[in-house]
Amino acid sequence: MRKKIAAGNWKMYKNFEEAIELATSFANSEIPEDVTVILGVPFVYLKSVAVITAANKRIFISAQNSHDKNEGAYTGEVSPVMLKSMEIPFVILGHSERREYYNESPELLKLKVRAALDNGLKVIFCVGEPLLIRKAGNHEQYVKEQLKISISELSGDDMKNIVIAYEPIWAIGTGETATPEQAQEMHKMIRSYLNETFGQFVAKETSILYGGSVKPSNAREIFGQEDVDGGLVGGASLDFDSFYEIINAF
């Protein structure tokens, strides 16, 4: 059975007091037994939030990025070794904002994924196409290429520690809207790619999350699609009531 996952990406929001308050609300909440909640927390709050939520066994903590090297003279960076030493189980890699704003290439992300896995981290690996690619009708090939370059050489055992998140970049902040059917279409394609590359077992067991503006109003319909196993949620994860409603939308 694939895991049902509600992952919240806090991005660069919340001051320390706000982060602690939000983490405490989730720590004290009742999470459905069949749902895994992952909180993508800014680096500076990781350990504090992990300690607060430790008693709630349905909640896991994720970093939002990590380096491809274990150590070195890389001022301002955070390595997978550092995350491992703090017992942070997850890291988000390949987010569209990292690709766009920090020029992270599929080739670099291949190294980051390898370094994270080698240090025992689980990876939420993001893929997705921008508006021009979608309008040109090349979106499936574009996403396949992202997957091919960055993760195709992983082993079946490696894939046990990979969660895929599909981001329709073209529908985020552009005025365009992605339908649940379009989400399903891309998730089905990604699962087909996993089947072709890694075999039926990996394709069947890998959770694929939708990262396109999931809200309480659309979560139930999106999560109801056959190949959608949850969401990588941005803005709505910053509000306890909104994200808790999403968590209960499966």
pLDDT tens string for the chain (250 positions)?
899 999 999 999 999 999 999 999 999 999 999 999 999 999 999 999 999 999 999 999 999 999 999 999 999 999 999 999 999 999 999 999 999 999 999 999 999 999 999 999 999 999 999 999 999 999 999 999 999 999 999 999 999 999 999 999 988 877 676 899 999 999 999 999 999 999 999 999 999 999 988 999 999 999 999 999 999 999 999 999 999 999 999 9
- CATH architecture of the domain 4-247 equals Alpha-Beta Barrel (3.20)
pTM for this structure?
0.97
Would you name the residues annotated as active-site residues? 95, 167
Give the Cα separation of 29 and 47 in Å (integer): 20
Q: Do residues 237 and 243 lie in contact, with contact meaning Cβ atoms separated by under 8 Å?
A: yes
